[in-house]
Structure 1
Amino acid sequence: MPSPALAAALPLATATDATSGYDGFIGWVLSLMDTLGEVGVGAALLAETFIPPIPSEAVLPAAGFLAWEGRMSPVGAWLAATVAALVGAWIWYAVGAALGPVRTRRLVGRLPLLEHEDFDRAERFFARWGGTAVLVGRCVPLVRSFISIPAGIERMPLPVFSLWTVLGSGVWNALWIGLGYAFGPAIRPVLEEWSAVLSTLVLAVAGLAVGVFLVRRVVARTRATRRNPALD
């Protein structure tokens, strides 16, 4: 928290409005945090679980900045963010558990350009790296939201899943909130410049990954059909 003398020396806009200048989802989320404090941080992280274009890499440093200004407790912000991440993970875990492996495998096999082997491969990967996958996945954009689904499908014990989720989310949240708190107003120009870019980049990377997968799958099926026309 800044000293009174330092706070007086800061620009008026910094001292009175920590959220102006942000675009799209990011602007809305930061306004939510500015209004509701730690509860807003939790709401923002819960929303990020279901709306991936809200990147926590932009949201959490802003929470740290608001804590630096004295508008919330940094520990409270971290706790709210971590609890919200766990609640969101539980919801996706429940979705996976409701589907189950048999139903999910059947569903995957019916989807265009997907095969039962895709599910089998993912299942083998998760069986080998389940705990590590959850831990690391909590620190990867997009994967962070959906890594809970295979955990639910495979019925990873809920206490174990919760532990890995809290560890991964806790470290991730502490890192980004800590950066915002440590750098204070210096973090604001960076967030203003990159908030919209980050949202767009997350969507672009996801679209590119899906596009590459689809192109590779179409090419593979085309070659297989040419080698064996009976497959057509």
Structure 2
Amino acid sequence: MTTSTTDTSWLGSLIDAVISLMDIIGPVGAGVAIALENLFPPLPSEAILPMAGIAAHDGAFGLWEAVVWTTLGSLVGALALYGLGAWLGLERLRRIADRLPLVDVSDVDRTVAWFHRHGGKAVFFGRFIPIFRSLISIPAGVARMPLWRFGALTTAGSLIWNTAFILCGWFLGSGWHIVEQYVDVAQNVVIVVVAVTIVALAAIRIRSLRAKRSGDSASGPGDTATDEVPVTSGR
């Protein structure tokens, strides 16, 4: 039987419900749980993966089964978001950006251009960053990164991340909850940094828009080219 969490919040209850899948359908349940984690970022893999390791240690299924199925779940969830990005496409994303108050169409173009240059590193290392590991799949789809490359990088990064946390659960057993506190702190720090960065970027964008509007109003319609045409005598 897999150990449940002691958190009584809605998220703790959701984690317990997802973890119970491992008790019902074994390692496949662990894979389904991690696929859901990719699609619903608030669901933390840092809580699910060690539970899979504990279940493997208790003999519910093999350690290699936990690693294989959770990595497969990561890939399936990432491919679903990649498909969403590919369905949106660059032109549709530009139209959406044009309707958003703090987003400019040029921002989309710069992001896609950046992804073409650094997308491989972003997809691989993004698997180690909470929330970002889910969201990075969408621009990969928009940029139409070759599917084989996206799949290989996602699988490699997920394999490392999943194996590390499953082994933590395997070796620490019930003592995992002691380490989990520190993992939660680290994850919260990352989330706060991401949130602060988003707020800072929004503030910069607002200031830029205000400066642009001020410049436009200062120039006014009368500042356009209004050179007088010399009057000829007609002689």
CA contact (8 A) 1:30 1:59 kept: yes
- Confirm or deny that 1:21 pairs with 2:6: yes
Match of 1:118 among 78, 87, 107: 107
Change (3 A) 1:20 1:155: closer
Give distance in 2, aligned partners of 1:93 and 1:172.
20
Q: So what's the TM-score if we normalise by structure 1?
A: 0.81
Aligned length: 216
Within 5 Å, give how 1:125-164 maps onto structure 2: 125-164=114-153
Match of 1:67 among 56, 81, 87: 56
- Confirm or deny that 1:186 pairs with 2:175: yes
Give distance in 1, aligned partners of 2:43 and 2:191.
10
Alignment match, 1:11: none
**Alpha-carbon deviation of 1:29?**
2.2
CA contact (8 A) 2:140 2:150 kept: yes
Q: So what's the TM-score if we normalise by structure 2?
A: 0.80
Amino acid at match of 1:129: H
**Alpha-carbon deviation of 1:226?**
2.7
Higher relative contact order (CA 8 A, sep 6+): 1
Alignment match, 1:220: 208
For residues 7-40 of structure 1, the C-alpha deviation after alignment (integer angstroms, 9 at most, x for no partner) is xxxxxxxxx6611523233222222323332121
Amino acid at match of 2:205: R
Paired residue secondary structure (2:102): coil
Alignment match, 2:85: 96
Q: Which runs of 5+ in 2 are unaligned?
A: 221-235
Amino acid at match of 1:21: T
* Cα-Cα RMSD: 2.6
Give distance in 1, aligned partners of 2:5 and 2:24.
13
Give distance in 2, aligned partners of 1:95 and 1:75.
31
Query: % of aligned pairs identical?
Result: 38
Give distance in 2, aligned partners of 1:197 and 1:30.
22
Give distance in 1, aligned partners of 2:190 and 2:2.
27
CA contact (8 A) 1:55 1:198 kept: no
Q: Which runs of 5+ in 1 are unaligned?
A: 1-15
